[in-house]
């Protein structure tokens, strides 16, 4: 178990280190003209404002669901759920930061060649991909390290929990599997919030831009 945690931890650190490297690479690229920098700042400000506001509302739901899991099962289940949610939220912020950081450099690079533009854009996308992988594995390792006893083959047992004290609502489970499931549920819940909330936000922004283009700038539909 110890060797598995160490090796997996090194892989997680390697992924996060690679993400940091690509993020630094994108940050060093020229961002183009003054107007390009201005537009980038507007996009970045709007996107990060949305992420912060969404995180505030998500936190309320995440804490409430964690407390319910604590009451129904064990405190360890709630902690695993919160860890998964936290790392998923961190991955979202890392991805949004990389996306809003790489848009202007990609546009500037495209003025030179498609090859340069692809290099910058793929580097920006790699930040999110490697960041998600590293954080997901790192968070799972924290769960394994905190509750190592529940994953020890010598102590693994099937537990029974009666929800709300009702025998007909008995649930049989292996505690270690439940902890991993709670971790995954926390991460998935945040991903769902980001997917649905982000979709609504971007659609609203798209419609607003379309209206401004038609009404104020008098830009034709096609």
Q: Is the pLDDT of residue 175 over 60?
A: yes
Nearest to 120 by CA among 9, 24, 4: 24
Q: Is the pLDDT of residue 167 over 70?
A: no
Burial environment of residue 109 by CB neighbours within 10 A (0 to 12, 13 to 18, 19 or more) = buried
Q: Is the pLDDT of residue 219 over 90?
A: no
pLDDT digits (tens, 9 = 90+) for 87-141: 999 999 998 899 899 989 998 999 888 998 999 999 999 999 999 999 999 999 9
pLDDT digits (tens, 9 = 90+) for 2-34: 777 888 889 999 999 999 999 999 999 888 888
> What pLDDT sits at residue 31?
87
> What pLDDT sits at residue 200?
79
pTM of the entire predicted model: 0.81
Describe the crossing of helices 175-215 and 75-110 by its angle, rounded to 10 degrees.
Answer: 40
pLDDT digits (tens, 9 = 90+) for 56-86: 989 999 999 999 989 888 899 999 999 999 9
> What pLDDT sits at residue 11?
93
Nearest to 72 by CA among 187, 193, 154, 185: 185
Domain ranges for the chain, please list them.
Answer: 2-215
166: number of CA atoms within 13 Å, CB side? 5
CA–CA dist 151, 191 (Å, integer)? 26
């Amino acid at each position: 178990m110890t060797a598995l945690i160490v090796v997996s931890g090194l892989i997680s650190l390697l992924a996060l280190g690679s993400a940091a490297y690509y993020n630094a690479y994108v940050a060093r690229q020229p961002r183009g003209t003054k107007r390009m920098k201005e537009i980038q700042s507007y996009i970045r400000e709007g996107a990060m404002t949305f992420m912060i506001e969404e995180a505030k509302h998500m936190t309320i739901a995440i804490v409430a669901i964690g407390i319910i899991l604590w009451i129904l099962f064990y405190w360890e289940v709630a902690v695993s759920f919160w860890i998964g949610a936290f790392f998923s939220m961190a991955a979202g912020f890392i991805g949004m930061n990389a996306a809003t950081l790489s848009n202007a450099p990609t546009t500037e690079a495209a003025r030179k060649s498609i090859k340069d533009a692809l290099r910058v854009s793929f580097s920006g996308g790699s930040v999110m991909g490697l960041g998600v992988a590293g954080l997901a594995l790192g968070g799972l390792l924290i769960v394994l390290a905190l509750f190592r006893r529940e994953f020890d083959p010598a102590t693994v047992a099937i537990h029974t929990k009666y929800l709300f004290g009702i025998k007909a609502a008995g649930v049989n489970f292996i505690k270690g599997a439940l902890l991993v499931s709670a971790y995954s549920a926390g991460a998935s819940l945040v991903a769902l919030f980001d997917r649905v909330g982000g979709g609504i936000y971007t659609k609203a922004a798209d419609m607003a831009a379309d209206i401004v283009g038609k009404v104020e700038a008098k830009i034709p539909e096609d």
